[in-house]
Structure 1
C-alpha cells in the first residue's frame, strides 16, 4: 500500500496545488515513485492524457513535477463551470453530463465508488500519494457529502497538513477557526500546519506560531516564503492575470468570461521580450502588437460578450493595420463566420455570428473531442514561418469546424485530419491545438516576426520551455526543503 499525505487549506488559493507539486518533486528526488491525487477538481484548465482522457491541469502539473505520466486516476472528477450555478461534469476523463450545483451535490454519494477505485489504482502502483484538498474543510454546509476534504481523508485514511496563507492576512485566526469548526476525530487527522506565502523576518512571526501551537496542540511544520515560480496555476483565482511583464512587445490575450486553458500562454509569459497582458476592455487593445483569443468553456456566450463590449470593432481596426491575431480552440471558432449549437450543449443560444475574419463555420456536437496529437504545418505565414515543422499539443472541444470558400488549413495531423485555418494574408490563424506555444520553434518564430515589425534586433538566444519548467520545479522543491520539516512529513507518512 502507498503511503499518503493530504494538503488541506484554510481557504481556496492558499497554495495547496504548488505545495503538492513541490512535495511530489522532493519525494521523487528522495527515490520514491510518487503520484498526485485530487478527487474532485473545479477548474477551466484541463489536460488530455495519452489515452484521450480529460483531467485537471493542476494534477497533470503535479505529475510532471513527480516525473510520472499524468493519468486520469489522479483526478477522477473534474467540474468545468458553464454558468454561475452549473458545470460540465467530467467523470474518469469522459463527459458525464451538465449538472446544476444542487443536482451534483445530491449525486455526490454515488461518485464515492469512482473516487475510491481511482485512488486504489494509484495505491497499487506507487510508493506514495500526495493528495490535494479543495477549498476549505471548514465549509460546514458541505461536510455531509464531502468527497474532497475530510470526507476523502476518512475514505482513504490519510493524515492531513493544514495550509494557511499569511499573504491575505489573518492566518492565525483562519488556522484556529478552521480547526475549531471540525469534529474531534477530524482534528486528530491534522498532524501539522504550514504557513505559506510569508514576506519578511520569520523571527517576528515566531511568538505567534508558539501561541497558536499551544492553543491547537498541533505543530507548525514550516513557514514558506512567498515564491515567484513559473508553474501553471489551478484556476482563474490567480495573480497571473495581473500584468507583470516589461518586454517591448505587447501581446494581448482577451480575458473572456469563460476563458479556459489559459495555461496555453504560460510559455509566452516567461519570454523576457514579451509584455503579456490579459485584456479586460477595448482601450487596452490599442497598444497591442499581437492579439490572442483564447479557449472558452462557453464559446457562444463569450462571442456575445465580445460583440456587446465593442471588442469586435477594435479587433477589426487592429486587423486592418496588419496586427497578427491568433485564436485557440474557442477563440478559433469565434474568428469564423458562424457558431451553431443545435443541441444547446454549451448555452441557451442555438447560434451566433462570429467575427467573420476566417472563412469557417463551427457546429457544436454532443460528443467531445479529447486527444493528444501532433501535426505538420502545411502552409507558410509571415507570422510563424513554420511550413514543414512538427508541433505537438492536445485537443479539447465540442465543436466541429468546416471550411467555407477557399480558406486553407494550417496543420495536417498525424491521424490524417486537417486542423486550423489561416487568412489570405497569413496574419490571422486559428487552431484547435492547446499547448501549441509550448513548441519552442513555433513560439520563437512568432517572436522573431513581432520583433522585426517593431524594428527590434533579433538574437539567437533560445529558451527550451521544458528545461525552464524543470528548473522551476527544482526551485520550488529547494525552497520547500529549506523551510519545511520534510523529515517530519515523511515520518507522518510512515516513510
Structure 2
C-alpha cells in the first residue's frame, strides 16, 4: 500500500493549518479510509508522550485522534521545543538529541533531520490509504527556501497537491494568497491546487465577488470558505488562543474561578482545557499586567524553561501575590514545571534549561529540584493519595496522563506524596509522584493530563464548591476529555465537509468519495 497524499500549507503561521488537517483527517476517517496525519517538523511547546515513551507535538496527536489512530512519532518525526532566544531542544523520532541554535540546526543538522523525516513519511504511506500533510509557517519565507524541510520540499517528496490556507479573520487574506504565490517558484506554484479561505465571519454571498476576483487573479480555484468555529474546541498547537484569552479576561460569571498563571514559556496548557469546559468554572489566564485577584484556585502550569519563568514570576510580582494568597488559604497547585516552582529551590548546575544555576522557589512545598540531562517521557496511570480537603475527596480515584520533565525532585519531611503511580509504560509499578502539604492547600504533580479524567476533575471542583458553601454537582455527568474531543472532532468534520468542495479534493487524491 502506498498512500495518496494531500498537503495543507498556509500564507502565514496561525492561519488554521493544523485544525484544517484535523478536519480532513476526520472526514476521511468517517468516510472509511485509513488515514494518518504528518508534519515533518513542528516547533511547539505543547507536546505529548506516546505509548512507547516517544515525545511528539500535540497538534499531530489531535490529528491522530481525529483519524481514529494511536499517535506515533512518525506523524511528527522532528519536534523543536524553544528553550530561549534562537535556541531549541531538538527531538528526533521522539527522543531528544540536544539543544541547538537556529544557525547550527539549519546549516549542520537539517539534512540529517530531513532523512529521518522522509523515512517516517514512507512508513506512514506504507500503512495507510491517505496521509494528510501539514506545512509550517509559510512556503514564501525566501530566506529558508533552500534549507526548509517542512513545506514545498515535503510536497515534492510526497508528490502531494497543496491546499493553501489563508486566515481572513485578521484581514489581508487575498493579498497574502497573491503574495505567497508570487514569491514561490513556478514549479511550486503549479503544485498549489487550490485555496481555502479560513475563519470567515459574515455573509458568504457578500464575499462571493472577492472569491471571483481571487480565482481570476491567481488562476486557481477557491475550494472553500470555512467559517470561524464557535461552540466547540480543537486544541491549540502552540499558544493559548486569542479567543481563550478573550474569554478568560471577562467577568467571572460562574461559581468557581480558577486562575492559571500564563508563564512566558508555558507548555502543555491543554492540561486545562477540560477545566474550562466545565459549566460552573470560569478559567482565567493571568500574566504580566493582569490582576490575579482572589480566585478559588491558582494553578502554576508546565514550563519549557522553568528557572527563567520562576525569575519572571519574581520580577512581575506574581510570585509574591501567589504566596500571599496561599497564606490566606487559597489552594495552589503546580503541574510539572509549576510543581518544581512551588518548591524551595531549583538547581541547574549543567545549564540544562537555563544560564541561571540556582534560584529559590516559592517555598510552598518542601521539595528541591535539580535539572539533569536525562529526560523522562512516559505514560502513567496513578491514584490520588494526598491529604487535605481537595485531594482527600479524590482519594483512590485513578487518573491517566504522561510525564515530560528533566528535573529530579527530592521531597522533605514536611510533605507527603500526592499520587501513587500504579502503571508506567503499561507495566504495573508502585511509585510516588508529586508532593502535598498536610493541609492539602498546596500540592503538585509531574502528571500532565491529570484533569482529563472526569471523576477526578469533578471531585476537585466540587471540593472548591464546598469550600464556598455551594452544593456539589453530579460527579458522573462530566465527559472525559477524550469523549469531549471526539464529539468536537465530529462537529469540526461536519463544518469543514460542508464548507469545502470535497468532490474536488477527492479528485486531487485520485480516490472516490464515500
Could you tell me which runs of 5 or more consecutive residues in structure 2 were left unpaired when the two chains were aligned. 423-428
The CA deviation string for residues 167-208 of structure 1, in whole angstroms up to 9 with x for no partner, is 010111111110111111001111111100101111111111
- The two structures, once aligned, show a CA RMSD in angstroms of 1.3
The CA deviation string for residues 185-242 of structure 1, in whole angstroms up to 9 with x for no partner, is 0011111111001011111111111111111111111001110231110011622541
Partner of 2:316: 309
**Aligned pair 1:387/2:387, yes or no?**
no
Partner of 1:119: 121
Partner of 1:226: 228
In 1: Cα distance, 2:472 partner to 2:291 partner: 26
Whether the 8 Å contact between 2:74 and 2:123 is mirrored in structure 1 is: yes
Partner of 2:487: 471
Partner of 1:53: 54
Stretch moving more, 86-95 or 236-245:
236-245
Q: Give the deviation of 1:283 after TM superposition.
A: 5.8
In 2: Cα distance, 1:145 partner to 1:459 partner: 55
Stretch moving more, 321-330 or 308-317:
308-317
TM alignment of 1:62-73, pairs within 5 A: 62-73=63-74
TM alignment of 1:242-281, pairs within 5 A: 242-244=245-247, 246-281=253-288
Are the structure 2 counterparts of residues 282 and 290 from structure 1 closer, same or farther at C-alpha, using a change threshold of 3 Å? farther
Q: Secondary structure at the match of 1:231?
A: coil
Decide which of 174, 177, 184 is 2:176's aligned counterpart.
Answer: 174
Partner of 1:481: 497
The CA deviation string for residues 56-114 of structure 1, in whole angstroms up to 9 with x for no partner, is 00000100011100000000000110112111111110001101111111121221110
Q: Give the deviation of 1:486 after TM superposition.
A: 1.1
Decide which of 447, 471, 491 is 2:461's aligned counterpart.
Answer: 447
Whether the 8 Å contact between 1:252 and 1:285 is mirrored in structure 2 is: yes
**Aligned pair 1:418/2:454, yes or no?**
no
In 2: Cα distance, 1:437 partner to 1:70 partner: 20
Partner of 1:88: 89
How many residues are treated as equivalent by the alignment?
Answer: 495
Whether the 8 Å contact between 2:387 and 2:437 is mirrored in structure 1 is: no
The CA deviation string for residues 142-181 of structure 1, in whole angstroms up to 9 with x for no partner, is 1001100001111221110000111010111111110111
Stretch moving more, 201-210 or 374-383:
374-383
Whether the 8 Å contact between 2:398 and 2:456 is mirrored in structure 1 is: no
In 1: Cα distance, 2:50 partner to 2:84 partner: 26
**Aligned pair 1:153/2:160, yes or no?**
no
TM alignment of 1:319-334, pairs within 5 A: 319-334=326-341
Decide which of 96, 100, 112 is 1:110's aligned counterpart.
Answer: 112
Whether the 8 Å contact between 1:282 and 1:310 is mirrored in structure 2 is: no
TM alignment of 1:211-222, pairs within 5 A: 211-222=213-224
In 1: Cα distance, 2:473 partner to 2:440 partner: 24
The CA deviation string for residues 375-394 of structure 1, in whole angstroms up to 9 with x for no partner, is 12223431131221211100
Q: Give the deviation of 1:412 after TM superposition.
A: 1.5
Whether the 8 Å contact between 1:282 and 1:314 is mirrored in structure 2 is: no
In 1: Cα distance, 2:349 partner to 2:197 partner: 50
Q: Give the deviation of 1:441 after TM superposition.
A: 1.1
Decide which of 139, 142, 146 is 1:140's aligned counterpart.
Answer: 142
Q: Secondary structure at the match of 1:468?
A: helix
Partner of 1:430: 444
Are the structure 2 counterparts of residues 388 and 237 from structure 1 closer, same or farther at C-alpha, using a change threshold of 3 Å? closer
Whether the 8 Å contact between 1:380 and 1:386 is mirrored in structure 2 is: no
In 1: Cα distance, 2:386 partner to 2:306 partner: 27
Partner of 2:425: none
Q: Give the deviation of 1:362 after TM superposition.
A: 0.6
**Aligned pair 1:456/2:467, yes or no?**
no
Are the structure 2 counterparts of residues 457 and 237 from structure 1 closer, same or farther at C-alpha, using a change threshold of 3 Å? closer
Could you tell me which runs of 5 or more consecutive residues in structure 1 were left unpaired when the two chains were aligned. none
Normalising by structure 2, report the TM-score. Answer: 0.94
In 2: Cα distance, 1:130 partner to 1:377 partner: 39
The CA deviation string for residues 250-305 of structure 1, in whole angstroms up to 9 with x for no partner, is 11110111111101111011112111111014762123111000000011111111
Normalising by structure 1, report the TM-score. Answer: 0.98
**Aligned pair 1:14/2:21, yes or no?**
no
Q: Give the deviation of 1:420 after TM superposition.
A: 0.4
Q: Give the deviation of 1:349 after TM superposition.
A: 1.1
Are the structure 2 counterparts of residues 375 and 235 from structure 1 closer, same or farther at C-alpha, using a change threshold of 3 Å? same
Partner of 1:405: 413
In 2: Cα distance, 1:196 partner to 1:309 partner: 37
Are the structure 2 counterparts of residues 192 and 326 from structure 1 closer, same or farther at C-alpha, using a change threshold of 3 Å? same
Q: Secondary structure at the match of 2:461?
A: helix
Partner of 1:26: 27
The CA deviation string for residues 331-377 of structure 1, in whole angstroms up to 9 with x for no partner, is 00010111111111001111111111110111101110000011122
Partner of 1:163: 165
Whether the 8 Å contact between 1:13 and 1:237 is mirrored in structure 2 is: no
Whether the 8 Å contact between 1:377 and 1:389 is mirrored in structure 2 is: yes
